Structure 1
């Protein structure tokens, strides 16, 4: 599902990420660990095609992300990659339901109100579908962002610190949801986290050191 080789990413000509090789098969689950500032979020954005590496090759569903135009890559990401940003990026002028509907529209998928409601139900927020994000708590908004990432049934799910603002009960719910949906859809799942409540649910681990080398 995902194959990355010889990845180097630089800021101001200084390498911040070095990833010799990473393969994650359909249905496989991986947690990315490392200290703050080690580049975990940067790595996730590279794997999603939000950033392109300075050198190396990243392929999702055997398609090279670097070989796509920005517009094609955005559409491909919307259809096949579910990305939960650490900063969420919900549109404040749209309701919770419309944030999910927009994700389907941008991916070129038809409207599906029942899928939107069902996805929100799975994160415990169906009653908040008509609400604006500003009317929700930080933890609720984090679950909306997760629902938005899942609504298109992606082949690759990438989540950046998805439980950082959640209490134990909701952290357990989100962790279970991520793992169950990945298993149900045979999707590859990659999560970055500092949260042992989430990290302990994963057997396969990738660690990024302070030097940016992923092992």
Structure 2
């Protein structure tokens, strides 16, 4: 008969460490999403062009979307050492997540940009707007509204993918839980609470997404 006795007190004593790990999880999630978004916008435009730009953009997206994020972290942390580049676990995870996020975000944006009626571009150009002005003031705000919830989904995936950083020693939420549980061997308790923290964080991010969507959907094009 299993005589396992739950001991939640050991988790409570390590709760500050878990919160520190959760803070690192959010930090690397938001930073990798911000950097990924900056890269994703030109990638989306490259994917709508031709020639070399299309090939480069497509190559990035296909590699990012068709290889495991864990593999990308391994390449950043272990693979780059072959070229004399030694990255910390934090930087390697951030680099890999940024690469991965940019791939998915670019496709979110590319589809959204294509959803904006072409007549709006023509109307803006007829009013004397340049291509850049048309994109920034007319196309992009509407595309962002169209892509908002796919982007939210990418944020959720990025947050969960950040847990893969534990394999290279990153002490984010999962890494902290694994480390703390190894000291007391209360694996179930630690990972049950860790799963609950992930759930709460995901719901919090979803709530932020709804708030943001209401704001940008009031007047997407300015």
The TM-score with structure 2 as length reference comes to 0.25
Higher CA-based Rg: 2
TM-score (ref. length: structure 1): 0.25
